[in-house]
Chain A
């Protein structure tokens, strides 16, 4: 099955969600998203790092250089408190949109 591109605007949410597991480096974030989506979602490195840059600037994540298990220097990202708040908000918004889409597609019952 070919890997799909992300629905626009959801990458930030996925990254934040992934980081709730703990401090991870960029490659691990991408790997995690791809694996847990059952390889349906493909994370372009070209969009992952700009997204991390955005999150860093907004103060939703912080980064620190540390040692990887293989002994290499790697940059680890951690979600901040406001990152968590933001994540909650994004998930709510996404649920609302997903519900709306499902209704349009006639797969969900309207209230």
Chain B
């Protein structure tokens, strides 16, 4: 086929341009050689052949390769012209790189959370996470956890056992016995998890349903590639080795492919058959999977072809309701109210309400885009200013007959080159800030891949080039049709082209407005953080240190021994100088709570949306914890007495004094506890709780019908600033007392840190980004004003020569600069009001429309803008009239 010959030839020419050039040269040389032989006269031959370079070039043109020559030429030209103005070049590259870099970093977060399906999974679009929707006190809520029974019901609804699987992951566990081994993520999964997600063993085999029979499990394990490399020496002979995880030992039978590490963002190291799950020591039922309180399993299904999502969800809902009704003790509400829904295999896509960390990530994505817009506007501004400075050069080129297309291309190549270099720098920034962001925002995620993926690189380059092309084309179009005569005459001074001036003003407005949005965001987050940390949680957060003991399942001493040991430790350190007060409690404050039915002589206690909870403590607990006793006294040890908090007193005995009233625990048969005091409210477990929960405190030494309390935790009130030394003393004493256990010692501030963390994070991230944006915007304001001043040097020279005072010129220049910024501030405030509800969920105690915030931010921007404009204004005001008038 002849046309194919042609195509093949064209392709080869384009793909191997160097070969083509070499061959052309060779052919030309051969031609001359032959001619020389023919003519016997070399000079005649060369003359006959003419200008060889010209011929070769003609041939390149005919071959369609000349385009590359012009591009190379344009690139060389652009490079030279950029090198000649290093300040401009660096400013553009840094601005653009910051904008793209921040986007790259946040994109990598968003990608990991929302876009990427779990790696190594086949046919992810067919997989669904199973969610259960429950009715809750504040609307419905979604949870992925369910009982084994419900999983069976859902699997029955799917109709195919190879299409539904159950798994659950423990927190990190120590390898080997005790707490000294490395931490690993263990996932317990039914044997059909692997076929459901479409994963095969890379080495050895996976466990089969025959090894996953409830009641007679086989202790085998399949490990991840990462685990195999780090813990089994990457040896194929590791198959058959055993892995000990606390109380059980498993035989390794297979290694998973490198890319598969489970279904959650936390990478799984070891997979163990569900049937081989070691049940918690407190589970008495040998059929532990049957117990309704064993409630932490997740299900994943592969959609059958015959059903769509809603059909399967309806079937599964009917199935679990049927199962619940058939039970002897159906969980309350489960028979009619729980509902199955199906969600994407990408967990963050819901249907559950997003976590605060996730909201921060998405908002940060928005902020990154804002920064990018500011950066692009700034780059465009710089480019426009540069174009005006190059008006004479452009006019000369046009006068010499360069085509407009060629001119635009020439300028376009220049911006493209800038954008590419900026993208490269941006990747460095993105890699660096992305690493930091990962640690800050998603610390629970085990990242096996680098921040810098090919997707990310592609993203950064695409954004950079897009931004470069837009800015470049606008600037080049502006520059490519000047009126030639004035341009040649006036040179760099801008006498015409008001549209360019207007465009730059508009860009400045955009930058100022977006800066206002970011600054307002940062201030709102900072104020939220302050509001949250200043919340009175009741307890003396900064003085308390808690100490308790943890034991291996087999090494735990009886409760009475533990209690006696804790009392001895408390007695040992009671007299120390850094200890102000010490007491014992059944439950660590704000780390769990206990319910019981509480009855007054006439009513049972209900606490609205916050359930009543109680704790058993020693009598001096209140002074230790920093809870003020409002009325009455603390209880006596060994007496059936009880202290209630204000919320309980107010809700139980409305209008009456609680002191002296009677309270029953469990049932009225257990006898009356006399209320001896009312203590101030404290948080139950959250720093932010919608309303104070009723709480009850009583002695640990009173026989209690509901539960026999033993001290579990030592509560120490340290002297100011001595928490660290108290913690280490406490840890040492506990370790001495219980050599077989593991002391857990934490200050209250440490314990609550996870709750304050999202607030701190929001404030820090938005703060950092908005400062960056502000800097970029200020550079823009400075360069625009100072550029405007330099354009009008002559005018100022004339004014000064005619007797204008320094303050007149200053006022004029500042006024012109600030007028634009003021418009930007107004637009920015309006934008902030409009965008406010997007961040409302991340704020506490301050509204997005907070007038103080908006005023402060607006004034701050105006003030800094004035400073930025002052430098060029001063230059204008102190211009020497003689020099100015002599200037170009």
A56 to B2, CA, bound (A): 10
Q: Does A103 contact B (CB under 8 A)?
A: no
Q: Does B406 contact A (CB under 8 A)?
A: no
Q: Does A67 contact B (CB under 8 A)?
A: no
Pair A46/B54 contact, Cβ less than 8 Å = yes
Pair A60/B2 contact, Cβ less than 8 Å = yes
A62 to B10, CA, bound (A): 12
Interface of chain B residues 35 through 86 with chain A (CB within 8 A): 35, 38, 48-51, 54-55, 58-59, 61-64
In the complex formed, the residue of A with least CB distance to B63 is: A53
Interface of chain A residues 10 through 67 with chain B (CB within 8 A): 25-27, 30-31, 44-47, 49-51, 53-54, 56-60, 62-63, 65
Pair A82/B30 contact, Cβ less than 8 Å = no
Could you say which of A27, A51, A62, A63 has the most chain B C-beta atoms within 10 Å of its C-beta?
A27
Q: Does B28 contact A (CB under 8 A)?
A: yes
Pair B2/A57 contact, Cβ less than 8 Å = no
- A contact residues around B55 at 8 Å (CB): 45-46, 49
Q: How far is the CB of A37 from chain B (nearest CB, A)?
A: 16
Supposing A57-B6, A58-B6, A59-B4 touch, asked if A49 and B28 sit within 8 A by C-beta, the answer is: yes
In the complex formed, the residue of A with least CB distance to B48 is: A45
A81 to B31, CA, bound (A): 27
Supposing A27-B30, A45-B55 touch, asked if A80 and B2 sit within 8 A by C-beta, the answer is: yes
Binary flags per residue of B1-35, CB closer than 8 Å to A gives 1, else 0: 01111110110010000000001101110110111
A50: contacting residue among B6, B13, B23, B59, CB under 8 A: B59
- B contact residues around A73 at 8 Å (CB): 26, 30
- B contact residues around A56 at 8 Å (CB): 6, 9
Q: Does A107 contact B (CB under 8 A)?
A: no
Pair A53/B59 contact, Cβ less than 8 Å = yes
Pair A45/B9 contact, Cβ less than 8 Å = no
In the complex formed, the residue of B with least CB distance to A53 is: B62
A45: contacting residue among B10, B23, B28, CB under 8 A: B28
Q: Does A72 contact B (CB under 8 A)?
A: yes
- B contact residues around A63 at 8 Å (CB): 9
A63 to B20, CA, bound (A): 12
Pair B31/A26 contact, Cβ less than 8 Å = yes
Pair A59/B28 contact, Cβ less than 8 Å = no
- B contact residues around A57 at 8 Å (CB): 6, 9-10, 13, 62-64
Could you say which of B3, B26, B59 has the most chain A C-beta atoms within 10 Å of its C-beta?
B59
- A contact residues around B23 at 8 Å (CB): 65, 75
Could you say which of B5, B13, B48 has the most chain A C-beta atoms within 10 Å of its C-beta?
B5
Pair A75/B62 contact, Cβ less than 8 Å = no
Binary flags per residue of A64-79, CB closer than 8 Å to B gives 1, else 0: 0100000011110000
Chain B interface (Cβ within 8 Å of chain A)?
Answer: 2-7, 9-10, 13, 23-24, 26-28, 30-31, 33-35, 38, 48-51, 54-55, 58-59, 61-64
The 8 A-B residue pairs with the shortest CB-CB distance in the complex, in nearest-first order: A59-B6, A82-B2, A50-B62, A53-B62, A80-B2, A46-B55, A59-B2, A59-B5
10 residue pairs from A and B, CB less than 8 Å apart? A27-B30, A45-B50, A49-B58, A50-B61, A57-B13, A59-B2, A72-B30, A74-B30, A75-B27, A80-B2
